[in-house]
Amino acid sequence: MQEHDNVYTKAYAIQLDQHDNLAHFRKEFYIKENSIYLDGNSLGLLSKRAEKSVLNLLESWKQLGIDGWTQGENPWFYLSEELGQKMAPLVGGKSEEVIVTGSTTVNLHQLVSTFYQPQGNKTKILADDLNFPSDIYALQSQLLLKGFDPEEHLIQVKSRDGHTLLEDDIIEAMTEEIALILLPGVLYRSGQILDMKRLTTEAHKRGIVIGFDLCHSIGSIPHQLSDWEADFAFWCNYKHLNGGPGGVGGLYVNQKHLGQKPGLAGWFSSRKDKQFDMEHTLTPAEDAGAFQIGTPHVLSVAPIIGSLEIFAEAGIKNIRRKSLQLTQYMMDLIQHELRVFEFTIQNPLEDEKRGGHLYIEHKEAARICKALKAEGIVPDFRNPNGIRLAPVALYNTFEEVWNSVQILKTIMVEERYMQFKNEREVVA
């Protein structure tokens, strides 16, 4: 962003909002009065369309009872597949490669149980030491189920700075002992984007299956999973996709693997026309639907119907463009207004490496987050001294970014944070 004399003024922020072609989507969301919500990378806000789609599905249950599975505006029996088709553009997958199902960790267990096939000396799983704990727990569990000691068979690439990963270090760790690789698309703390295309190419050169956790990237950056030939991916839909707390997740399986039996089979793994034959021999679906397990959580998937309508209209490339502008503007303001207060920006500065949120550190981070909340700003604290700030393209404004930094400056100047304990809450 070019520097002008007025770049740090509120008038400049308002001017940016006036030229924002996504500004009209803000009215689609429920936004609390006198509040600035900067935690959409943890839980996205409710949209009016998502609310409507929930009410519509409740109405179909009310009016149709069990016939809602095959009748009504969104028949439940086919809903996961239909939403997978609509979600596919957000991950750059083909419609048959994507299914809306399960939760992040359940889908990870499903995919690892399917694609982790240790043979000979190829028995180890490669991950990283910055990934979200749930992914590591699942990998450890899968190794134990196969009879391997996670201490020896789970290899975690080390970060050199505690915040980011070097692709060269990951590639160096792709030894002949690695059977499967799991990495985040965007690191949940620092917001670093990994070069998924390069890593997939390097893994396949070595005959290694590779998959990605897209929880912090879907809905915030474009993907091209099919073109990159990634083997699998999985994600939650309640962050940038605004699918509701604990909402149903999603997964992607490359077309070259379709037709493979799922590692964890269930009734909804079945081919649709065979499911009600009630045979004790599974005929798996020929698309990503084969990697479903149990009955879809219809009411929990409902918000995604409305949310995906908004994403289709806004366009992920437009969302990404504004997201980069918002985070860059916030970084510029932080560096200008808060330079004397010992904040350190730990997210990547480069556009091509920065996801949809910022990550700053301060020794009083827990206190500062509580002080921000007391002023109506919702950040995200990460133990021990991290603050994540996510100005979301669909509902945050440049003026909100400006106001947030000014309020943070006041908190620091007046030491308002000192009235709070510098420790995390039970949920952080």
Which residue shows structure tokens 């952080």? 428
- Alpha helices per DSSP H over 102-206: 104-115, 133-145, 150-153, 167-172, 196-205
Query: Looking at 259-378, which runs of residues are DSSP E strands?
Result: 344-345, 358-361, 377-378
Is the preceding peptide bond at 348 cis, omega within 30 degrees of 0? Answer: no
Q: Are 342 and 173 in contact (CB under 8 A)?
A: no
132 is in an annotated binding site: yes
Is 238 among the annotated ligand-binding positions?
Answer: yes
User: Concatenated DSSP letters for 196-262?
Assistant: HHHHHHHHHHTT-EEEEE-TTTTTTS---HHHHT-SEEEE-SSSTT---TT---EEEE-GGGTTPPP
105 labelled ligand-binding: yes
Whether residue 231 is annotated as binding a ligand: the answer is: no
d(CA 5, CA 384): 37
Q: Quick one: angle between helices 298-314 and 48-64, nearest 10?
A: 140
Find out whether 267 is annotated in a ligand binding site.
Answer: yes
Nearest Cα residue to 394 out of 117, 27, 11: 27
Is 135 known as a binding-site position?
yes
Q: Determine how β-strand 178-184 pairs with β-strand 124-128.
A: parallel
Tokens linked to 9: 């003024």
Compute CA 245 distance to the chain's CA centroid, rounded to the nearest angstrom.
13
The response to whether 159 counts as a known ligand-binding position is no
125, 174 contact by CB (below 8 A): no
295 is in an annotated binding site: yes
Asked whether residue 101 is marked as a ligand-binding residue, the answer is: no
Q: Is 216 labelled a binding residue?
A: yes
Determine the Cα–Cα distance for residues 377 and 226; give it in Å rounded to an integer.
39
Q: List binding-site positions for pyridoxal 5'-phosphate.
A: 104-105, 132-135, 213, 216, 238, 267, 295
Q: List binding-site positions.
A: 104-105, 132-135, 213, 216, 238, 267, 295
